[in-house]
Structure 1
């Protein structure tokens, strides 16, 4: 597999090409026109910009690569080759095993695993057990491991305690995501003591993901009131978390020597970096720059990844139907979960159909000019949905395809 090189800085003498929509999208279209749709493209200059800007925003704290937002080994390897990126936050144990077997030295599984086959593989392989850390927040998860192989008949399993980072707001209640049941510092300390007493496990880290800050836009397009409310909520939630997380980490450190304390995400790099209890930050979505991240006030990633589909029919003079399009992002069903048509400019979905699994009618001024065989470019919403629909990305630099890198799907891997 060829490796992307993200170390070369962008040419500072030239304005970022993505600021000129006509130049940028026309250039991607021309560079990839010889490829059959669906076409996935990675713009090398934009990738380099995003990788460097994420490091700037992290303020010197290392970034653990959130692989679920990328799902391209070449891109993960390229990030890990840069100073400032260290380790992977995987989304399943089978994925972590796959990455470690292909050279990754440090993988934390970001979600608990009860995959008995994968746990047996981990527990019987000294190298995997040394390089992979499981996420835990309850005794039952440890019981599953012991049921696969009892302590003494397996490798010691590294584990990371997840601390709930949501905010229990006055009146509004729970704000954030439902993850760990361990919310208070004393709850985390008691569980850390429990893990420390269990044979066959070693507690090495703490993680907490402040989704209400990292994953919630604070300047959503066309929703100024939502932006005001979200910014207020984040200004209240982050100080509460810093204080509570600090107490929890301090209490846990009285029990064990921690190797790392992980927090944050692409949307909170600055705020999480300022938390003195955090030693590293998880982030990944900002590399490809989905359109969800246009809704943040404090950073703007380049649209480094995009995909193109073909027009196949004209059901009416002012309509153009493309083949495919329903590459929907996770989260609450809403229009902002749909891919955004960006080129040619002036396209929109038909309200009653939106983005379809096999066809998506488009309307708007540009639809009048489109005919069978023409191509439409889209930006994905937020994270890994591109790689789940593509076997490979064409890497574009200086107006030409310079490489092709497979996705997990293109490697024949499906992890969730």
Structure 2
């Protein structure tokens, strides 16, 4: 933690649990991501942010959304280049996209299956109300029966990509605008072991061969202007990839703990959760209110928030991080009194901001602003 954060919040009346943003760390992380992108534009993944003030402060011209309703909301709040990263069955939101000329021009919808195309046409997309779509290409590594990576698109080979592109073109009212190829097994995995590093190296080489073939197969069908790839942990790999037009990053802006273990970079911790001590059940133990905001993914202790201030605290194995109470143990607990604040770093960033309505922005040792999260604006998109 940078000096001045703790004192800045101590001098401000806050309702805890609360979120605290170190503005200098955020700006430094954004600059690092831009430098690592090697000249490619960086699209900001809103799933890892979930705060419009942060998007506006960063001047995020391109955003990658996680929800169809969120996409409509951001488009209507002035974001002119919105890429919905996940296929959706939200027919009400799709109908709003199809019906609103401004939103149609600003939002690109992800597809990878014929059913997605049928949903769009049923929602109102047509020759007079054309909707832009992006084709999701599978970037996972397949070694015989092994599937290494997340379960996303079924479009894995160049032939499948070309066939999917032809289906889009054959659907009245849909315009194929681009392709996405997200390497989750590279971008989203820390360098935690030799085996993980080997898989990431192997996958990067395999994608280096297959991805240009996938893009070329699609471009033989339609001249798509958008080729989106990468994430915080891999955007540095694509600066010389001629077929790529942009990269994406989100978690690297706020620096949650799951991104501490990468060898190529180390984001600065920019987001913290703070909550007061509400009990002193015994020696070397204090209990704080809430903060049990467990991150998504495979269950494990690495998905829990980490106490970072005062020093000398840890979660207990018996309770971990709880929804309404979280015990912290260790030598640092003895100096805590009821009402004192304990600071945590979250394992992931945006997910945690679903649980609070306000982010306190700290700059130069003072609270510069207290700004709403998506939740604080009533934007809970699930």
Which TM-score band applies after superposition, normalised by the shorter structure?
over 0.9
Any conservation in 2 of the 1:312–1:323 contact (CA below 8 Å)?
yes
Distance 1:150 1:58 in 2: 35
| Aligned residue number for residue 194 of structure 1 | 167
The two structures, once aligned, show a CA RMSD in angstroms of 1.5
Specify the SS of the correspondent of 2:302. helix
Matched, 1:292 2:258: yes
Q: Could you say if the C-alpha distance between residues 211 and 31 of structure 1 is closer, same or farther in structure 2, counting changes exceeding 3 Å?
A: farther
| Aligned residue number for residue 129 of structure 2 | 155
Specify the SS of the correspondent of 1:295. coil
1:150 offset after TM fit, Å?
6.0
| Aligned residue number for residue 211 of structure 2 | 245
| Aligned residue number for residue 326 of structure 2 | 360
| Aligned residue number for residue 180 of structure 2 | 207
Specify the SS of the correspondent of 1:390. coil
1:380 pairs with 326, 343, 346, which one?
346
Q: Could you say if the C-alpha distance between residues 25 and 150 of structure 1 is closer, same or farther in structure 2, counting changes exceeding 3 Å?
A: closer
Q: Kindly provide the CA deviation profile for residues 149-170 of structure 1, in whole angstroms up to 9, marking residues without a partner as x.
A: 2634x51010000000000135
Matched, 1:88 2:88: no
Q: Kindly provide the CA deviation profile for residues 279-333 of structure 1, in whole angstroms up to 9, marking residues without a partner as x.
A: 1011111111101111111101111111110001111122100010211111001
2:50 pairs with 59, 71, 74, which one?
71
More moved, 291-300 vs 273-282: 273-282
Distance 2:89 2:217 in 1: 28
Specify the SS of the correspondent of 1:356. coil
| Aligned residue number for residue 38 of structure 1 | 17
| Aligned residue number for residue 115 of structure 1 | 90
Normalised by the size of structure 2, how large is the TM-score?
0.97
Any conservation in 2 of the 1:25–1:343 contact (CA below 8 Å)?
no
Structure 2: stretches of 5+ with no match in the other structure: none
Q: Could you say if the C-alpha distance between residues 150 and 125 of structure 1 is closer, same or farther in structure 2, counting changes exceeding 3 Å?
A: closer
Any conservation in 1 of the 2:138–2:181 contact (CA below 8 Å)?
yes
Structure 1: stretches of 5+ with no match in the other structure: 1-17, 221-226
| Aligned residue number for residue 217 of structure 1 | 190
Matched, 1:270 2:243: no
Distance 1:31 1:265 in 2: 37
Q: Kindly provide the CA deviation profile for residues 311-361 of structure 1, in whole angstroms up to 9, marking residues without a partner as x.
A: 011111221000102111110010000011000011111111100110011
Distance 2:144 2:331 in 1: 47
Any conservation in 1 of the 2:8–2:365 contact (CA below 8 Å)?
yes
Matched, 1:59 2:34: no
Normalised by the size of structure 1, how large is the TM-score?
0.89
Any conservation in 1 of the 2:17–2:291 contact (CA below 8 Å)?
no
Matched, 1:413 2:379: yes
1:124 pairs with 73, 94, 99, which one?
99
Specify the SS of the correspondent of 1:266. coil
